[in-house]
Chains A and B, each alone.
Chain A
Amino acid sequence: MSMTIIEKIFARKAGLDRVSAGETVVVDVDMTVLIDLQFATMWLQPLRIHDPDKLAIVMDHAVPAPTIKDAAGGPLARKFAAEFGIERFYDVGRHGICHQVIAENGLARPGEVLACTDSHTCAAGAYNTAARGLGPAEVFSIMCTGSTWFQVAPTIRYQLEGVKPDTVSGKDIFLQIANEYGDAANLNLEFGGPGLASIPMHDRRTIATQGAEISADFSTFEPDEVLASYLSDRGITGYDAAAADFDAVYQEVRRVDLAALEPYVARPGTVSRNGLPVSRIERQKIDQAFIGSCANGQLEDLEIAANILRGNTVATGVRLLVTPASQAVYREAMRLGYLQDIADAGAVITNSTCGACFGYHMGVVGPGEVCLTSSTRNFTGRMGSPDAEIYMASPATVAASALTGYITDARSVTA
């Protein structure tokens, strides 16, 4: 049938035999996720909604509320959830960054369509879900009607080959792709190939999440045994995954030799054509180091950080902030001792929130400061002052750099 993963999911959900790039399709949405910001202004309660069982609410961006405006949204969310019988309501205490909560609770299912009011919703592409961020008005509309439209973009296929070295993370893979190929506006990204088996689920999610930073529409991974096992462990069953057809039509196929990759860093401003291997960067001093966000606040990210920080001390003059991606990740990282190691090294561990990643609360950067972040965006002004510089790298690189005070290849610290 010559369809890519996204085209195949669209065809299913639009009730069509075939969908191809250039068409506009109307598709049913399987799960819609609202976030706290949606309620923090003048929320209008709808008269009716499509289906309360296909709706979730996640409190994440501004929790616990840093402003009165945000605090005023909480009761509106609670009232709405109660009146419409929305059981999937992840209120403060069982909250987390929406993309982590979506993953933990099986809201993103292979072969299905997921909409959410955050631009990093493409994260769920790691689970073979057609997921993308949509604006608040559109998500409100989908909540009411249960469907939306998409203009089907051409797809770029990343054909992964070889085996990923242990010292290379999903972040490093993404930064390298972004450096080599630049932006992908109005294009879908599809990841697959024999090398995929060497990329664990948390790294896949980092890569899928960051499709947003290169302006892509959807970024979707092909289903495999690693995904099936991940879902099975979480009791997620009864899905119908979508694989690309052997004769699927791509705008371009790009081959990536995973074995040749190394830890990478992006310079401030953009991730597109703006990076270099960590081993080659000049001595760059840092003021703030951050590990968190939907991209890199996962349990495995905290484990990597804890392994590097354990028994060491954060350099004088450096602030290391660590934000677990959800309350569940926080509790598990605490149980496993990761948070103890991280805090003992002199880091500040925050509650789970989008906070510092989007420069809203929990550690904004000041004028003239340099931040090295393992989060989602290094845009000017993103994490606070427009006169601060934001470099981006993996959790391992950020943890190693927090110890030395300048951007450091973790392989030189742990070797």
Chain B
Amino acid sequence: MTLAITGKVWVFGSDLNTDAMYPAFAMKMDPPEAAKHVFYEVRPGWTDEVSPGDIVVAGKNFGLGSSRPVAALFTELGVAGLVAEEFNSLFFRNAVNAGLPAMTLPEATTIFSEGDTGTFDLGSGAWRNDTSGASGSVPRLPELILDIISSGGVLPRLAAQGYLPAELGDLLRSSTVAIRGAGSGA
């Protein structure tokens, strides 16, 4: 998986918690159906509008709450990556472990407006607003974290290391399978 992503951004506010992204009633559904309820209350209908390759930009304290594998629901929707001014660390780890690129960019919701095109390269830390021309960089993540993301998350690595059947390796790069394989959390 690539560490560099370019796509249309959707801009959300601060303090979006996991109950707003993966409500308990959706935990009773299979992942494709559950994914239709991301932001069900905050922005109803968003999951019909988001397109594969789009990027979610949020404010501070993004992902406060539960260990539910919300990142995998974003991948299910085709979201290419998450950018936030500040991540809750559990939510950030879930993105890394699902192989979903995630970048912390202070002022992200000021730099980007909804519908802008953004480019984010975790490998170098560079970002650019292709619509406004603004650009800059953030500190690069530790190699160990970049390795997990570029492997497509932890489960493909486990297959490569012999903890899961090797033939599942490629399949496990799909979040749909990954979320089902590792189950859910709360």
Contact = CB atoms under 8 A, between A and B. Distances in A.
A138 B145 contact: no
A237 interface: no
A153 B184 contact: no
A380 B20 contact: yes
Interface residues of B, number: 54
B69 A136 contact: yes
Nearest to B63: A215
A47 B69 CA distance: 23
Given A40-B184, A41-B179, A185 B41 contact: no
Contacts of B64: 183, 185, 213, 215
Interface in A221-268: none
Contact of B158 (A141, A358, A359, A377): A141
A43 B69 contact: no
Given A138-B97, A185-B64, A381-B19, A119 B186 contact: yes
Contact of A41 (B65, B162, B168, B180): B180
B20 A379 contact: yes
Given A215-B61, A380-B41, A358 B24 contact: yes
Chain A CB within 10 A, most for which of B28, B161, B185: B185
B66 A119 contact: yes
Interface string A327-369: 0000000000000000000000000001000111000100000
A289 interface: no
B151 to A, nearest CB: 11
Nearest to A39: B183
Given A37-B185, A377-B19, A117 B25 contact: no
Interface string B22-59: 01110110110000000011000000000000000000
Contacts of B25: 359-360
Contact of A359 (B23, B164, B185): B23
Contact of B41 (A144, A213, A272, A386): A386
Contacts of B23: 359, 381, 386
Contacts of A46: 158, 163-164
Interface of A: 24, 26, 35, 37-44, 46-49, 61, 67, 69, 73, 117-119, 132-141, 144-145, 149, 151, 153, 183, 185-186, 212-213, 215, 217, 270, 272, 354, 358-360, 364, 377, 379-382, 386
